[in-house]
Amino acid sequence: MLRTGRIFQSATAARVPLRTTGRVRMLNTSPTPAKQVVKTDRMRSTAFIRKDLLGEKHVRSGTATSVNMANANPIYYEKQPKLHVEALNARTAITEHAGKIMQIDSNFLQGIGKEHYPGYLGNDFKLFGMPALLYRKCTQDLVDQFNAYKEQGPKRASVLNGKNGIGKSAELMKLASVAASSGCIVIYAHSTVSWVNSSRPYAPQSHSDQFTQLEITSGLLRSIDAVSRDALKKVPLGKAFAIGKRNLSEEHTLADLVSFGIHTPALAHDVLEHFLDLASTQTQVPVLMAIDEVNTFWCSTLYRDQQDQILPAGRLRLIRSLLPFFEGQKSVAKGWVLGATSYVNPRFMPKDLNKKLNPPPAVPLANPELASNPKLLASQPSLPFDIIKMSELTAVEAWVLMHFYHRMNIVSAPVTKDLVAKKWMMSSGNPRQLFAGVTTFI
């Protein structure tokens, strides 16, 4: 019987080091004494590289490895093309640019942080080498609606709804970028799942049933300050009040208030609540509140209280501060409160909310007597906010996207009408499915 164990032990016991002679690598088969065997550090790995053939490179060690793509084989790797894509801002957000690829404003991206891209957009931008998105007709509709609300905001919030991958997060991000570049106060949250999935610290608040999340709240204040710093300086507080041991006079601005909350994380919740009250009622500067994954505001979180009971999202103080704007209890004097739903994680989409957002289609009754019976008519679900249903890609928009993918070397085949029609129909006009259909093997 073959004793594989001994064969394995004998093969691994004798080390076979490499000995390089000039440009030829040879094996040293001479036995190595046990005392000369050096114990391998398994936390480090090195790469032997022929510098004379590959040019200047460095021996790499550790877990992070960087490769000089300048020496990559051009047969298998192509250099990422550098395309000139116009920036999306208040000046370029016009009807004539609908159907064009545009780049998110760099100042807005710097404000929210490159790691704070919603959904899959971060991976898409890395693949493109730029934060480029399609400026759709529905994007222009949202921009026009927001411009109309700059004079007087609506009493109810609006929520973008649609299937996974339809572009809700992308539209919300584009509108926030345009609003920030136009000098508005932007309260933008790219993801709220991290607020409820127990991945961030929380603590019970004394003398209350609420729970605080100081790290998340101070991070939101930093985002507001970075994106809207100039706009915040234009709005005075209008009244004097004290937060903790700090007294703020009426000459102070919203920028001073937000800065105090950033540098005093223990009072971040108090600062945010004062900021929301003042920003929503002032009329000097329009406000855009853009909250992605807003369905988490009504879910059961993964946090637990002192009695090991599941916490509803409404008991988190951060969500409780924003929730009244989506339940019709509060509104902004000038601007818009806009949210977007997410169906990626069904755990945080409440079933009753899902039914109201996506009611079954009403089937008309053929019998006129039955059709007029109020007892047989299904009541329309009532929601505290207005729903904006996202539309699918048009054929023209799919054509623009496919040409962009071809120019970025994502699609190697020539873009023809038949290819675009095939991909468009297979994806049912869903932007995410269209992208997945051309990047399956990337």
pLDDT digits 0-9 by tens, 133-143: 999 999 999 99
Query: Cα dist. 240→9, 250, 319 in Å?
Result: 79, 5, 26
Give 377's pLDDT tier (boundaries 50, 70, 90).
low
Q: Which residue's entry shows tokens 């000459």? A: 251
pLDDT digits 0-9 by tens, 158-202: 999 999 999 999 999 999 999 999 999 999 999 999 999 999 999
pLDDT at 57 over 50: no
Within 10 Å of residue 387's Cβ, how many Cβ atoms? Answer: 15
* CA atoms within a 13 Å half-sphere pointing along the CA-CB vector of 43: 0
The percentage of the chain sitting over the pLDDT mark of 90, rounded to a whole number, equals 64
Within 10 Å of residue 350's Cβ, how many Cβ atoms? Answer: 19
What pLDDT is recorded for position 257? 96
Handedness of CA 272, 277, 278, 282 (dihedral sign): positive
Give 29's pLDDT tier (boundaries 50, 70, 90).
very low
pLDDT digits 0-9 by tens, 30-52: 454 545 555 544 444 444 444 44
According to DSSP, the residues that pair with 339 across neighbouring strands are 159, 291
For 95-122, what is the mean pLDDT?
Answer: 89
Q: Which of 264-268, 321-325, 371-375, 412-416 has the lowest mean pLDDT?
A: 371-375
- How far apart CA 112 and CA 188 sit, in angstroms, is 8
- How is residue 270 annotated by DSSP? H
For 323-352, what is the mean pLDDT?
Answer: 96
- Within 5-145, strands assigned E span 18-21, 24-27, 87-88, 100-104, 132-135
| Cβ contacts of 358 within 8 Å, gap of 6 or more | 161
pLDDT at 403 over 50: yes
One-letter amino acid at 368 equals P
> Phi first, then psi: what are they for 54, rounded to 5°?
-100, -5
For the chain, give me the number of helices (H) and strands (E)?
A: 16, 16
